A and B are shown apart, each in its own frame.
Chain A
Amino acid sequence: MALNTYADVPLNADPSGRFVPWIVALMVYLATISLMVAFSVNSIIHRWDAGFSACLTVEIPSINPSDVSEDVDNGQIRGRIIQTLLKTPGIGSVRTLSREEILKTLEPWLGEGNDLSQLPLPTLLEVEISQRDHLNGDFLKKALKTILPTIIVEDHLGWQRSILDLAYSAQVIGLLIVCMIMLAAIGTIAFTSQTSLIIHRNIIEILYLVGATDAYIARQFQNHALRVGIKGGFVGFLLSAMTFLALQFFASHLDTTIFRDGGSSMTLWAIALIVPFFITIFMMLAARFAVRLALKYVI
């Protein structure tokens, strides 16, 4: 409706009218790519989160009989540790690794074919975590250490947490960039609208004299923002679509499912379409409010 009517105020001919659509195209492109990255990181986080620390390893060093009071032996200690583990919320199952399994993991260091039957080996427990949210790792470690101070709990949680934190911050930064781009788009349009309003003071005055309301005048600027949004949004969409297709192409040569699995690919295309749409809507609102404010307080 707005596009097939002519504009009373020749905003398209303004000096700013020529470069603002390109700036908008760039903003649309950057916002789209940032959101796509944030989304991809999000799905990677989910995948990692599911795969990460599905288990922990508890190492019970073999006890030197002189270290402990005489009424306990290795078997009793192990039993108490396993019981504590099983009672802990979030723990699914506990499996004791066999001597052969432990030796197998040590093979690279010890070499093959040695007679290791006399080697004192620690007991290794493979603990499966069923619900990670329910598991309090620190509390569990403390509980186990009271049973046996020399126990070693390898929960992999530390470095996994750091990687997840890193991924989350990347995501937050991506979203912040999108917000800043939105603000920049709003600011650009608000500022150029107010400038145009001053440039075209004479025309605005004529519009007033023939009975135009503030709303009518603001609509001229809003329609202009729509045109700018459509132009810039279209170019921005083309750029992000090309980037996305290129990434998909390269990803297909790598062993990764990022950008390629059906569901997330759909979402990424949706992002590419929605971002220009929202930026345009925001710009229209920005133009309208900036002009109405200016008409009220400046002109």
Chain B
Amino acid sequence: MLQKKKTEDVISFDNVSLSFGPDNKIFSNLDIIIPKGSFHFLTGPSGAGKSTFLKMVYLSQHQTAGSVFLFARNTLHINHSEIPYIRRKIGVVFQDFRLIPTLNILDNVALPLRVRGVETRKARSQAAELLDWVGLEDAMQRSPLTLSGGQQQRVAIARAVIGRPEILLADEPTGNVDDEIALKLLHLFEELHKVGTTVIVATHNRSLPHTFHHPEIFLNQGTGILIPPSSVPVFRNREGK
């Protein structure tokens, strides 16, 4: 058991198990360390627990055994009232985007700043810059409901990064877009990684770690294997994409 967490380990899973009921074990004895400023792909077949893993990082799901450390703090010891402040250091691109349909995309992107108390005008001008960065500068007043999956994906990315998070989590960001756009999105993540953000991209596409030369955490049957970038063999994933 690791007693003292190294501060450069921004996330660490220490002998973590999680089960939803007796016959539904998702993880058993997971040991994973994510150093600060690293870029990992989180892979595994559908249902392997990638989304659930990310949930544990953004404090939406607790393990049933073992310890998770986030910013060198045991997540079980984080007070309910502290959670919002910790979440502000984590940007998440959700698999289902989680945009607010009644707000236009400019206000959706501005939201993380507004909940921090940034005044509306300032939050909107920063949101406009980010929408420009993801190539949606012409759609700012539109409702998310009128956008394609790929466009919503980019709105979700802009919202995830507007608060300059220390950790960026992306859940299947390339799932809804064609290859060309997927590459563009991943280049956005690369940019953030280069300025020091710790990035975890969950994907079932196992060719991505190879293309981008980043380590892969492969989840399968409740365990996780860390595969360094150089040793990733080139193969197509099971779904054949």
Q: How far is the CB of A220 from chain B (nearest CB, A)?
A: 10
| A203 interface hit (Cβ, 8 Å) | yes
Q: How far is the CB of A153 from chain B (nearest CB, A)?
A: 73
Q: How far is the CB of B54 from chain A (nearest CB, A)?
A: 11
A213 / chain B contacts, CB cutoff of 8 Å: 81, 84, 115
Given A211-B84, A213-B84, do A203 and B115 touch, yes or no (CB 8 Å)?
Answer: no
| A238 interface hit (Cβ, 8 Å) | no
Task: Return the CB mask of B76-91 against A: 1 if under 8 Å, else 0.
Answer: 0000010111011000
| B159 interface hit (Cβ, 8 Å) | yes
| B187 interface hit (Cβ, 8 Å) | no
Closest to B97 in A: A206
Determine if A207 and B115 form an interchain contact, defined as CB atoms under 8 angstroms apart.
yes
A205 / chain B contacts, CB cutoff of 8 Å: 98
A211 / chain B contacts, CB cutoff of 8 Å: 84-85, 87-88, 112, 115-116, 163
In the bound complex, what is the Cα–Cα distance between A257 and B3 (angstroms)?
Answer: 85
In the bound complex, what is the Cα–Cα distance between A207 and B58 (angstroms)?
Answer: 14
A6 / chain B contacts, CB cutoff of 8 Å: 103, 107, 120
B107 / chain A contacts, CB cutoff of 8 Å: 6, 8
Closest to A217 in B: B115
Tell me which residues from 187 to 242 in chain A have a Cβ below 8 Å from any Cβ of chain B: 203, 205-214, 216
CB < 8 Å: which of A207, A209, A214 contacts B92?
A: A209
Q: How far is the CB of A292 from chain B (nearest CB, A)?
A: 12
A210 / chain B contacts, CB cutoff of 8 Å: 87-88, 111-112, 115, 159, 163
| B213 interface hit (Cβ, 8 Å) | no
User: What is the size category of the interface that chain A forms with chain B?
Assistant: 10 to 19
Q: How far is the CB of A187 from chain B (nearest CB, A)?
A: 27
| B102 interface hit (Cβ, 8 Å) | yes
B98 / chain A contacts, CB cutoff of 8 Å: 205-206, 209
| A10 interface hit (Cβ, 8 Å) | yes
| A5 interface hit (Cβ, 8 Å) | yes
Q: How far is the CB of A207 from chain B (nearest CB, A)?
A: 6
| B230 interface hit (Cβ, 8 Å) | no
CB < 8 Å: which of A5, A203, A208, A216 contacts B100?
A: A203
A116 / chain B contacts, CB cutoff of 8 Å: none
| B114 interface hit (Cβ, 8 Å) | yes
Task: Return the CB mask of A1-25 against B: 1 if under 8 Å, else 0.
Answer: 0000110101001000000000000
B92 / chain A contacts, CB cutoff of 8 Å: 209
B231 / chain A contacts, CB cutoff of 8 Å: none
Q: How far is the CB of B71 from chain A (nearest CB, A)?
A: 14
Q: How far is the CB of B82 from chain A (nearest CB, A)?
A: 10
B116 / chain A contacts, CB cutoff of 8 Å: 211
In the bound complex, what is the Cα–Cα distance between A110 and B84 (angstroms)?
Answer: 94
A10 / chain B contacts, CB cutoff of 8 Å: 102
Determine if A8 and B114 form an interchain contact, defined as CB atoms under 8 angstroms apart.
yes
Closest to B104 in A: A6
Q: How far is the CB of B101 from chain A (nearest CB, A)?
A: 9
In the bound complex, what is the Cα–Cα distance between A216 and B83 (angstroms)?
Answer: 14
B159 / chain A contacts, CB cutoff of 8 Å: 210
Q: How far is the CB of A76 from chain B (nearest CB, A)?
A: 89
B120 / chain A contacts, CB cutoff of 8 Å: 5-6
Determine if B102 and A207 form an interchain contact, defined as CB atoms under 8 angstroms apart.
no
B24 / chain A contacts, CB cutoff of 8 Å: none
In the bound complex, what is the Cα–Cα distance between A212 and B83 (angstroms)?
Answer: 9
Could you list some 8 contacts between A and B, CB below 8 A?
A: A8-B111, A208-B87, A210-B112, A210-B115, A210-B163, A212-B115, A214-B81, A216-B115
Other than the known A206-B99, A209-B98, what 20 A-B pairs have Cβ atoms closer than 8 Å?
A5-B120, A6-B103, A6-B120, A8-B103, A8-B107, A8-B111, A206-B98, A208-B83, A208-B87, A209-B87, A210-B111, A210-B112, A210-B159, A211-B84, A211-B87, A211-B88, A211-B112, A211-B116, A213-B115, A216-B84
Sorted nearest first, the 4 A-B pairs with minimum C-beta distance are A211-B88, A212-B115, A10-B102, A210-B112
